[in-house]
Structure 1
Amino acid sequence: MALLDALSRHSIHSLLEFGTENALPGFVREVGAAEMEQQMRENHKEKLKNKKEKQSRIELRSPFELKMLNLKILAERQPIFDDSAESLAVQGSSFLKHFHGSELVEAIETQTEVENSPAIFVLFWGTEGSLGEHALHLWKRSAYKWKNMINEKLNINREAVFGVVKCDEEGVELCHAFGILPKQKPQFLAFMDGQRVGQQMGLGDEEFFIDWIRLILMGSLIHIKDVTTKNNLMEFGPITIGIFRDEQQAEFKSYRRVAVLLAGRYQLAYKLDKRQ
């Protein structure tokens, strides 16, 4: 009403008659103090909600996921590869095991029976569009590079088995068993000691997959015992190091839980210092 009173001073006719306590079409409604407070509370909740959503988007990519391929663009490209890339893929295909029926489940169960058994990395891909063929091509090349060029340099004790499951009529039940639908985009799963320890739904070049495989095999949390270990880790990319008094410390246990959740995405390590 105060606003209408102020506007009336610049009008030939008084505008106060257009003010009403009830909401009527074409009229200005008077807003009470209680309603204003309610509106302020709702606006505050909306701001907090938007702030949380923005924060979650910031954390979507790790330092090793900054050069991902755009899946929408890739899906529009024909799966035609140059001779050199195709050559690597053909050679890499010999390192891929095509799992059928219960073979994958049995292989995972075997991990629990043999100490330090090979880790299993599997690509699940469907038959919709060309995206799956691109993923398979990259997976073959990555397997070739790991087996022939990378593994010896890393000094990792655990071996790796690379596999493929095609979610077609024959493999659809196996895909469903692992929660993957035939029309979903390609997914990569990692298994160690009978447990799923990693999942990757993005696509990158060979270096991207090499980093993912390496991070899984080295474990979610690496104990740095000397300078040499730290320097070796720093050669492969960004590393986060936590310093704790001992492994019984509450802060260390929280750090370890986070490391498990981020396995394969971040290079997390720790060192012990009794002075902490």
Structure 2
Amino acid sequence: MAEPQTIFLLGASGYLGGEFLLLLARDFPQHPINALVRNPTPEKVSGLKEMHPNISIVEGNLEDDAIIQEQVQKADIIINTASSDHWPSVKSTLEGLEKNSASHPGKPPLYIHISGCGILSDDARGELTEYVKEYTDTELDLKDCPPTNTHLDSDIPIVEAGTRKENPVRTIIVFPAQASLSLFICVQKTTLWLRFFMAFTKKLGFAGTWGRGYNSMNNIHVKDVASAILAVLKGALVGNADEGAQGLCM
């Protein structure tokens, strides 16, 4: 069993974070969890404690720079399953990680960030294309992705932090496809993109397509995404996971 290490978890009460929290409780119940929770009502706190016996609630949101930095500085592992594109919280996390590393020479903290395959979006707009570029995580360079794509504003600084020599940080970014389907027992039962599409459909009064509708979008079960994050964490704990510029998991 892995030596207990403190985990600071962003997004614990969310769609993916809740599923991942259940896996942490199953495989790593000895690791104390400090979870950032917005508006921690008694019902929300009770649900989270039911999911993990060793969880402590940190009241705050993604805009709370001081709270995030404080928690990051004292954690061994930071895992962000919240908004991958929320730059202020990523910035706070990176600043906290640098201070954490500076105060623990030879023991760089581990940061696992959950991004998305939107970094690889093209501009097909529902039309057929003659050629679709295929990517692998062993060949991926974020700076080769179309610069207007989502996630890159956060992901590139994370990789840069994970490759510096002074005050080093262990960084890994996970790029799942769109996650769907859950019987999640706590707070958020549907993923953000699905809520967007449903809102658009309700507003317009019908569900349509982009262009001629030739686009296709792969989905992955949210439980499988959570399992993938757990596998990455287990690999990192024993030193078998790539990190920094190579730590891009698709």
- TM-score, normalised relative to structure 1: 0.23
In our comparison, the structure showing a higher alpha carbon Rg is 1
- TM-score, normalised relative to structure 2: 0.25
- If each structure's helix is expressed as a fraction of its own residues, which one has the higher value? 1
